Amino acid sequence: MLRRGRYVLNMRVIVWTLMFIIASAIISPAHGQRIELDKPLPVVMLKLDRTKVAGKCIAWSAAGFEVRDAEGQVQSVAWDELEPRNVYLTHMRVFGGGSAAQWFELGRLLRGLPEGESWSDRAFREAIKRDAKLAEAVEKAKSVKPAEREPAQDAAAKTPAGDEAAAMKAGVNVEGGGEVVGEVESKFWGQQSPAQTAASVQVLKQFAEQTRQQINDRLKLYETDYFLFYTDLNAAEARNWQNLLDRMYSRLLRMFDIPKGSNIWRGKALVFVFRAEADYHRFQILMHGTNSVGSAGMCHSFGNGFVHIAFFRQPDEMKFAHVLVHESVHGFIHRYRSPVPVLSWVNEGLAEWIAFELVPTGASAAQQRADAQIPIEYLKEKRGFNGMFDLPHIAGWQYPVALDLTRFMIDNKKAGYIKFFNAIKDGEPWEQAFETGFGIGFDRFVAGYGQARGLDNLRR
């Protein structure tokens, strides 16, 4: 089963992650109680006044935490000196999965910070997941009006030019799942000058260096014209996957009639492939604040135009290759033409289509025929698409359906599909964009698709 920007794995991964969470948990501190960490945690972040905090977290309390720097000096940092996102992530690192009480207290803390409401809501949701009886207490806590930031603090919190690598680390425009996150800055789309590209590449390399320091110092860079590929795999395997990414990129340029040699990325696409699954999950938590349970790869797309994509090397080579291409296509779609987002079923359908085009399954003709029936059987079982065309994130069973629809559109009228896709990226409502591309209404198309697949009276 698949999910938006994530590949769901077996129970072994879930059990491993739960063990990691349980092993990481510690007791929440009472008010004012200082708790020393048995194993200091490396931290790198910016405070609201843009001064840097770097070193190892050695203790924490309800008031803040302590960091020992490289010279052995200890600095105390109060929670209200940080962006809410950094407060959230620091707590996550300290108490791992945490108990219901820990998440509830974090929610209350964040509620009292300027602009902390959305992060507070996240913490409260985690508390209720662990103990549904807290729902009433959460609603009461939510009634407290969130704090407002003073104008001077707002000015200080703005990201200075040239410090975007630190900003990504500190909580600007960072979240996962393949979606656009943060305020979109359209100026970063379109042709970039060589100087702009070089500056953006430098920002990405700074972030990668922070990743090496905090996650795995064996990561090595394999750079191409369009990708910054960091991995701890051996050189021969690294170049194999690097070449697959370049082939994917060339395939998409040809498909969308983009001149050969064009660079659509802001700088380049930043890709991490970790040999160890544990490193991958640590990267997602520590560098992006993303829950990676059940995933083998994720694309992070930012409102400032940057793209980060990360994976762990699955044992099955073909599965890994498929995930590598699928998630990287999401990054391309984010960068293609404009920052306008593409519907989930269109996004996932194209990502799957390109992945199957580039990664041979090795299946027999009989198996391929059986696989082709999977979306048809789903549509029969579900009696239609179950609102797939309006979902922000399609369900797992809808991935093969989206793939089959994409294949049907491209096989029947490739030029129409490209016009449809371009019209969406140009800002047209998607059904209007479909008429622009195919010259018919979408309901008529669905009926025709159903007839072609032996499904009469097929409904949305």
Question: What pLDDT, in 10s, does the model give residues 101-113?
Answer: 888 888 888 888 8
Answer yes or no: do 143 and 213 share one domain. Answer: no
| Pick from 80-84, 267-271, 373-377: least confident | 80-84
pLDDT digits (tens, 9 = 90+) for 286-308: 888 888 888 999 999 988 999 99
Report yes or no: 43 and 59 within 8 Å, Cβ to Cβ.
Answer: no
The reported pLDDT for the residue numbered 171 is 32
CATH number of residue 332's parent domain: 3.40.30
Answer yes or no: do 132 and 173 share one domain. Answer: no
Boundary residue ending a domain (304, 339, 374): 339
Q: Which residue has the tokens 């108490």?
A: 95
Q: Quick one: which of 70, 126, 57, 114 has its CA closest to 289?
A: 126
Boundary residue ending a domain (149, 174, 191): 149
pLDDT band at 13 (very low <50, low <70, confident <90, very high): very low
Answer yes or no: do 326 and 381 share one domain. Answer: no
Q: Is residue 36 part of a domain?
A: yes
Answer yes or no: do 65 and 191 share one domain. Answer: no
Q: Is residue 460 part of a domain?
A: no
Calculate mean pLDDT across residues 88-106.
76
Boundary residue ending a domain (123, 149, 175): 149
Which of 89-98, 125-134, 213-222 has maximum average pLDDT?
213-222
Calculate mean pLDDT across residues 122-141.
87
CA-based end-to-end distance of the chain: 21
Q: Using alpha carbons only, what angle is made at residue 226 by residues 258 and 256, rounded to the nearest 5 degrees?
A: 20
Please state the domain count of the chain.
3
Answer yes or no: do 46 and 137 share one domain. Answer: yes
Residue 103: give the domain boundaries: 31-149
Beta bridge pairs of residue 183? none
Answer yes or no: do 60 and 134 share one domain. Answer: yes
Number of other CB atoms surrounding residue 422 within 10 Å: 18
Answer yes or no: do 109 and 215 share one domain. Answer: no
| Pick from 95-109, 350-364, 416-430: least confident | 95-109
pLDDT band at 127 (very low <50, low <70, confident <90, very high): confident
Residue 251 one-letter amino acid: R
